[in-house]
Amino acid sequence: MKDGTDNHPPIHAQRLRYDLKAKSTKYWLDGDAITTSFFNSLSVAFPLGEAFFIHSIRPWQTRIKGQLRTDIAKFIRQETDHCREHGAFNCGIEAGGYDTVRLKQRTKQVLARMQNESELTKLTYSMCCEHLTAILSAAILRDERLFARSDATVARLWLWHSVEEVEHKAVCFDTWLFATQHWSPARRWLTRSFALAMITAGFVKNRFLGQLDLLRQDGWTFRQAFPALVKTAFRKGSLGRSVVKDWLAFLRPGFHPWQIDDRALVAHCQAMLSRPLEPVGDVSEKPATTPKRVFSAA
């Protein structure tokens, strides 16, 4: 099909149980405090955020027939599993000494503002969030160096989650197309483009605030942390820069998520998931990338 909807692989709900007894490492991503804080901040938001996506798409499930209805059921199953496993992972973040109350409260406040919105508006927001998570997940999967020296159990969690995000990246989009089938192409394009811009601004803002909160607990000041966050997010080869092209693709009239063909990437990473865990050395502390204690905690 011209829109690329025939390119998608089947959606598989693959069970994974995060090991609550896994050794807690403060900077589990190669000892890198900045990048670890990004993934930790993201994970803290996942259980509430993924639950919102489920509640947003569920009302449409009974109105749709055929393959899309089946895909919605699989989407819900996958997102339910993500909520559970990141809840377990977040317990490890807290066991590492972090207070995540403020991060959770910020997510609750964002979602509370959406509670009185229409079913279609909630679906629109979910569709845009799913695009962000899908392109970020694909960037994670493409960068095999990212988790190369990370805790193996944690790396497997993020690999599993990222694969499933890419697998179901079109479900909310296709549901939204069904919900707006009476709209003109111009209205669809304007609505989703404006919504993506709003959602992206909020995503970037809240990830930065979350990281700043976690780094502050490690003794970083704002003046020390903020430049490091910006540099890490947008330097050459970073996740931030690697998603720009796919983010812009969403703004193209006639766009469909599977016009970005990730089938080979998904297959490759599913094969990686089938391999046994390969432990790496202790990456809990890496002096070259953790903050020096000349920093004030103020």
pLDDT tens track for 55-114 = 999 999 999 999 999 999 999 999 999 999 999 999 999 988 999 999 999 999 999 999
Mean pLDDT along residues 37-57? 96
Asked whether the predicted pLDDT for residue 6 surpasses 50, the reply is: yes
Q: Which residue has the higher pLDDT, 152 or 33?
A: 33
| Amino acid residing at 45 | A
Mean pLDDT along residues 2-6? 49
pLDDT band of 287, cuts 50, 70, 90: very low
pLDDT band of 298, cuts 50, 70, 90: very low
**107-150: per-residue pLDDT in tens?**
999 999 998 999 999 999 999 999 999 999 999 999 988 888 88
Q: What is the reported pLDDT for 7?
A: 61
